[in-house]
Amino acid sequence: TEERTLAMIKPDGLSGNYTDQIKIIILESGFNIVSEKMFQLDAESAAIFYAEHSGRSFFPSLIKYMTSGPVYTMILEKSDAISHWRALIGPTDARKAKVTHPNSMRAICGSDSQRNCVHGSDSPQSAAREISFFFGELSTGISTHDE
C-alpha cells in the first residue's frame, strides 16, 4: 500500500545546489512527489519541528543551522516510502556515511552529524506530524519563501 513521508532538503543542500540531483534520484527511485514547497523557518518553528531534540546539547546549533537559509520540503509517496527514503539518505552522520554508505545522499551532499543536507521522517507518526507541520493546518507561523 502507498505510504507518504516528508523529505526535506536542508539549507546546506540548497546552498550547495543539490536540489536537482536529489529530485532526479527521487523520481528515478519511483517516488511520486505529491507536493513540494520552499520555506524559510524561523527559530520558533524550527524548535517546534525538532522539539524531540530540545534537551540535546546540539539543539541551539541545530536551530541556527536550520534557520540559516531556506529548506525545500516534499511529500513523497510510494509503497514503503518512509523506510525507502531513509535508506536512500543514509546515516545521520554524513562523515560516517561517506565511509559506510558512500552512495547515500548524505555521503554525497552532507558534511557531518549536523550538516547532513537532507531529512526524512522516521516513523508513520512522525511522517503524519511533519507533513501537517509543513503542508497542513499546523504550518501557521512558517513563512513561504518565494523562488
Residue stretches of the annotated binding site for ATP: 10, 58, 86, 92, 106, 116
Q: At what angle do helices 81-89 and 124-135 cross, to 10 degrees?
A: 90
Contact residues for ligand CMP, defined by CB under 6 A:
53, 58, 62, 92, 113-114, 116, 119
Indicate the residue among 2 and 54 with the shorter CB distance to ligand CMP. Answer: 54
Count CA atoms closer than 13 A to 125's CA, side-chain side: 0
Q: Report the alpha-carbon distance of residue 77 to residue 88 in Å, rounded.
A: 14
Indicate the residue among 29 and 68 with the shorter CB distance to ligand CMP. Answer: 68
Q: Which three cell numbers stand for residue 135?
A: 503542508
Residue 58 C-beta: closest distance to ligand CMP, Å: 4
Cβ atoms of residues 29 and 88 within 8 Å: yes
Indicate the residue among 4 and 10 with the shorter CB distance to ligand CMP. Answer: 10
Active site annotation includes 119:
yes
Which residue in 53, 101, 119, 145 is the catalytic one? Answer: 119
Q: Report the alpha-carbon distance of residue 97 to residue 76 in Å, rounded.
A: 23
Residue 40 C-beta: closest distance to ligand CMP, Å: 17
Residue positions annotated with a catalytic role: 119
